[in-house]
Structures are given as structure tokens and as C-alpha cells.
Amino acid sequence: MPKPPRFPKAPTADGPIKDHSLAQVLSQRQALSEGEVKTVAELARAGPNGERDRLLLLTLFYSARRISELLVLTPSRMRPPDLLTLMREKASKQLPPDITVSVPAWLWVQLKEYIRTERIKPDARVFPISRVRAWQIMKGLGK
């Protein structure tokens, strides 16, 4: 059986820099790099809802928003060439209830293609799952 892949050296609090497995690297920091996210996103394609899960992960990463803010995205709230209008989770008197974020143009095009192939109506949610289910998907991809 082949050994699990090794990831870049990461500093440790106890001493010199050592090689770490992915699980060890992730336990020491809160975020993935862009390359790591793309790798996990490609692994998501293997699941029964692979394209949805892949786009969910990529949109979360590139929009840098909360899952609950992303889950309210509808096709009518997408503006060319790369803008998504999301509802803020934490409302405030000083801030508007909506926030417009930019994602890479290639991701915007992939989202529009997914909407077209899945025949999602303009006012229907792009990701029609609960916040809990979205977290389960993210946790499952991390294992």
C-alpha cells in the first residue's frame, strides 16, 4: 500500500520544521491554500452531487463568505462578468442587507453553466441544501 502524500514543510511550535501529512497541516491552521482547495474540489466530483459540491466549495473559497450567505444565491442575483449578490447573515443598521462579491470569471461561467444544465429557475436557490448539509459536505471532503 503506498504511503500517504507528504505536504510542504510547516513550522511547529516544538522545534524544527518537519514534513507533515495533510491532516497534521490542517490541524495547525484554519485555511487551505488555493491549490489545496482546487485539489479537494476535484475530489468532490466523485460524489453523487459532485458538480454541485465542487462549485459550492470553490464559491465559498473565492467569495470568502459564510455558508449561510452563499446558500441564498439565486441565478437572478448573478451579474456578468463575475459578480454575485449575497444576503448578509449578520444584519446591521450601518450596512446594507446585501453584499456584492466578485469571483473569478471562470467560476462565474461554471456557475452559469451548472444553472443551465440543472435548469434552475431565476428565483430558485443555486445550492438548494440546508446549512447543516453544506457543513456535512465540507467536513466529508476534508476526510
* pLDDT greater at residue 50 or residue 90: 50
Q: What is the pLDDT of residue 94?
A: 74
Spell out a b/e string for 99-116, using b for 16 or more CB atoms within 10 Å of the CB, else e.
eebebeeebbebbeebbe
What mean pLDDT do residues 115-119 have?
Answer: 96
Mean pLDDT of 52-58: 91
Which pLDDT value is given to residue 140?
81
Q: Is the pTM of this model over 0.85?
A: no
Identify the CA nearest to 141 among candidates 64, 73, 45: 45
Between strands 83-87 and 7-10, the pairing is unpaired
Please count the CA atoms within 13 angstroms of the CA of 134 that sit on its side-chain side.
20
Q: How far apart are CA 120 and CA 53, in angstroms?
A: 16
- Size of the chain in residues: 143
Place of cell 452531487: 49
Determine the pLDDT at residue 38: 82
Mean pLDDT computed over 39-58: 86
Predicted pLDDT at 15: 45
Confidence of residue 46 (pLDDT cuts 50, 70, 90): confident
